[in-house]
Amino acid sequence: MSTAKARTAHAKAILGPELHSQLANTNVLLVGAGGIGCELLKNIVLTGFGRITLLDLDTIDLSNLNRQFLFKKKDVKQSKALVAAQTAAHFNPNVRITPIHDNIKEPQYDVQWYQQFDIVLNALDNLDARRHVNKMCMAAQIPLVESGTAGYLGQVQPLLKDTTECFDCIPKPTPKTFPVCTIRSTPSQPIHCIVWSKSYLMGQLFGEDEDATGELDDAEKHGENAQEIDTLRKEVQAFKTVRTALRSSNHNEDAAKLVFQKVFNSDIKNLLSMADMWKSRSPPIPLGYDSILNGNFQCKQTNGAAPTGPLNAIASGSGDASSSSSRATTNGHTNGVAAGPALKDQRTLSLKDNLELFISSTNRLATRLRNGEEVITFDKDDDDTLDFVTASSNLRSYAYGIDGKTRWEVKEMAGNIIPAIATTNAIISGLIVLQALQMLKKAYTKLRNVHIQLKPSVPLSAIRLSAPNPECGICRDTYAPLLCDPSRTLLGDVVKGVLGDDEREVSVYEDKRVLSDPDWEDNFERTLESINVTRGKFLTIVDEEGEWSTISLAVGTLPPNHDADEAYILPSPLPRPTKKHKPAPPPLETPQKKGTKRPLPVELEDGVIDLAPTPKKPKFHSAASGKRKFEDGPSPSKRRRLEEDGLVLMDGPNEVLDEGVGAAGPNGVPMEAEVIVIDDD
């Protein structure tokens, strides 16, 4: 047997000749070349998928090599997509792999682009990108296999519009957030300091947000301390001078020192001026720049706080800064012994170490700004930003008497890293291929949501697919293409053209931006480009009455052979929204239980009080069947009590009392029964 035939013999025998031949012409989009992506690329190449497009934005990091086996140490800092494609191409020369080093959310990857693929396989590690790919696949009506792992756990979910629920049919838990004042003024845990450094300080110094007043306004509306909010507003305004220094190449003063003095000295002193804030908690300690570098920094008593340890002490977790003196370290050593392993990321940093790291990372980031980089955001794989967040969060932790963290721990917490396990990735990637094959065979009844569980008896859980959620705002929309030149297309022309003779009232959105509503149509005379509705975005037309589904127009480019005079091409046929599912009406209120008390007597005009007759209560009585039923007669228990008292209850005036019936006398001789006739009339 030839090498080419031997290569595909097993796959052909397992899949069958028909499906196996179909794979050679199948066009697959694989999004992500990380832990799952590398395993999955290897699997689909060996299975025989003929045309594969691999897209990933990331570059290879040293920490990837323990589980992403398509990469080697020499590949570090190179594109994951390019290296993975080069490595996997040798596994099967009959497969054509097209690598793309880019962000899947870029506008050129629009609905038209997705429609060239037969199936999409997701191997992503963040929620935002997953939701984006899900929406694009729903709009393009392309099958999608979603996946993810978390340690030993994992899941595979096949998704198909109008057949299964989509990724957004079930709301996802939102990431944990912290109150603004806790992060900005009163941290008590290491994660508070890390979030402050990553999300707030990085943005203020190197990002777009220069004032951040909107977040403070929201915090004040939610009832957070008004005086504290006012102090934080003053801090925000003072950042403008610091931002200018970081971006100015002519600034003579050390920019890192200017940042330090503002953040770790002046701002802390401003907070200490609010004495009421520190009545029930330990106050922070202003740090000294020169004294820390010179080795003679001593934490002075501040606002009643006990004196703390010497220069090189690291913060303790007790919340009391004074206890840090028992853990004195010098240059990463504790009590004269090396603080940890040789790996620099796992070495404990002293106060001086953190300050030196803060200075070097701040200057590196400032150099990047001066070289033309407009905005710098945190990236766990960016050494400059990771060093800055590590140093600044540890300095803040020291000031507040909180445990410091190693560089590796900060990377894990700031990057929301969940340990990845190679075997979990391998299992999940195999399950993705199995579900993809069922999709291609259109065997939709055999599709399953598969979960890896921590249950030895049932390690794999396969669940039948659920129907789409009628309330889903993604897969229940009516999608249609809008091919146009945004610079010449007016919003009003599109909306009126799509609605046609339909005169119902609608609002128009782009994502969460309101572009028009029934009472405000000012944007109807503006071009799509002028309101930032361009390629890759969705123009949504929402029924104001909520009776019809939303129309989502996927904005794309005009075809090459279009008429030059045409600014846009409406979808043909025009989209017809479906009747929206209406939830069942809420149950009627339970009628109030009528009381059994008699109503108050009513006094008539002649002074006579009209008393309503007391209604007879239904009684329980034993029937022949042994069950109790309602009757007007006395209950068995009442009859028994009367007989014990020497009375016999007759059913009527004509009933004859049997001889000997009656109560027993003192000697056991029956006494003569006394008969009392009560006339109800």
Q: Which residue has the tokens 């052909």?
A: 12
Q: Is 193 a catalytic residue?
A: no
| Separation of alpha carbons 574 and 578, rounded Å | 13
Token digits for 205? 């110094």
Q: Residue 158's beta-bridge partner residues? A: 145
C-beta atoms surrounding 426 within 10 Å? 19
Beta bridge mates, 507: 542
Neighbours of 63 (CB within 10 A): 16
Task: Choose among 31, 71, 70, 77: nearest CA to 53.
Answer: 31
Structural tokens at position 514: 């309101």
Match 């091919």 to its residue by tokens. Answer: 483
Using the structure block, give the residue that is written with the tokens 């392309």. Answer: 142
> Residue with structure tokens 């509306």?
221
Q: Are 316 and 323 in contact (CB under 8 A)?
A: yes
Residues in the chain, total: 681
Fill in the DSSP letter of residue 536: T
The residues near 462 (Cβ < 8 Å, ≥ 6 apart) are: 448, 449, 450
SS3 state of residue 67: coil
| DSSP-assigned letters across all residues of 173-202 | PPPP---HHHHHT---SHHHHHHIIIIIIH
The H-or-E segment that residue 622 falls in is: strand 619-622
The rounded Cα 66 to chain-centroid distance in angstroms is 28
In degrees and rounded to multiples of 5, residue 28 shows phi and psi of -115, 135
The continuous run of DSSP H or E covering 553 comes out as strand 551-556
- At residue 551, the 3 state secondary structure works out as strand
Residue 389 class from Cβ within 10 Å (0-12 exposed, 13-18 middle, 19+ buried)?
A: buried
Cα separation of 70 and 344, whole Å?
26
Q: Check if the beta carbon of residue 242 is closer than 8 Å to that of residue 207.
A: no
Structure tokens at 532: 């930032």
Whether 108 and 136 have beta carbons less than 8 Å apart is answered as no
Q: What six digits make up the tokens of 455?
A: 């249950």
Segment (H or E) for 131: helix 127-140
Identify the helix (H) or strand (E) that includes residue 22: helix 17-23
Burial status of residue 545 (CB atoms within 10 A of its CB: 0-12, 13-18, 19 or more) = exposed
In this structure, what token pair is assigned to residue 108?
Answer: 């050129």
Spot the catalytic one: 38, 181, 193, 299: 181
Three-class secondary structure of residue 462 per DSSP: strand
Terminal-to-terminal C-alpha distance of the chain: 112
What are the backbone angles phi and psi of residue 204, rounded to the nearest 5°? -65, -40
Give the Cα separation of 69 and 79 in Å (integer).
Answer: 15
In DSSP terms, which residues pair with 516 in a beta bridge?
A: 508
Instruction: Tell me whether residue 333 is exposed, middle or buried, using C-beta atoms within 10 angstroms of its C-beta: 0 to 12, 13 to 18, 19 or more.
Output: middle
> Which residues are designated catalytic?
181
